[in-house]
């Protein structure tokens, strides 16, 4: 799972004395921004800062709306959450937007783009 892989990378950096959480940042763009958001919800103390460029942080809403461009083309990757309850539950379990908690997060810089054809600016 992508989120646990990212955590394992941080664990390796810290256990190998290559870095420490206070000097580590995470960054990702588009679907990589989803990784950033989910990672911060799950492990907010593992990094000192985050950069999310045009992040896909509300996949539940986007993948539930087949009228949006690319949604039906992405069913192979994300599942048909509009018609498949198991796919919907899985996506909601890590959806950054739906899993924000009342907890301390590191500083986050998120950017959006009016020109991005894959991730709407309202998702950043």
Q: For the beta carbon of residue 106, count every other beta carbon within 10 angstroms.
A: 17
Q: How many CB atoms within 10 Å of residue 34?
A: 26
Statement: the pTM of the whole predicted model exceeds 0.75: yes
Q: What are 36's two structure tokens?
A: 């950033």
What are the structure tokens assigned to 122, written together? 């309202």
Please report, for the chain, the start and end positions of each structural domain, with discontinuous segments joined by +.
1-58+102-124, 59-94
Tokens encoding 27? 């960054």
The pLDDT profile of the chain, 124 residues, written as one tens digit per residue, is 899 999 999 999 999 999 999 999 999 999 999 999 999 999 999 999 999 999 989 999 888 888 887 788 889 999 999 899 999 999 999 999 999 999 999 999 999 988 877 777 777 7
Token readout for 87 is: 């796919």
pLDDT at position 1: 85
**Per-residue model confidence (pLDDT) at position 73:** 87
> Residue 114's pLDDT is what?
85
Q: Which of 120, 105, 91 is nearest to 36 (CA)?
A: 105
């Amino acid at each position: 799972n992508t989120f646990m892989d990212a955590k394992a990378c941080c664990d390796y950096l810290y256990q190998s004395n290559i870095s420490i959480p206070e000097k580590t940042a995470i960054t990702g763009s588009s679907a990589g921004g989803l990784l950033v958001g989910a990672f911060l919800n799950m492990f907010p103390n593992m990094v000192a800062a985050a950069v999310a460029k045009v992040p896909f942080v509300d996949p539940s809403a986007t993948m539930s709306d087949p009228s949006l461009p690319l949604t039906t083309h992405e069913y192979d990757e994300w599942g048909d959450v509009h018609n498949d309850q198991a796919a919907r539950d899985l996506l909601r379990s890590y959806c950054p937007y739906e899993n924000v908690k009342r907890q301390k997060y590191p500083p986050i810089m998120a950017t959006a783009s009016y020109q991005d054809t894959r991730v709407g600016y309202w998702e950043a």
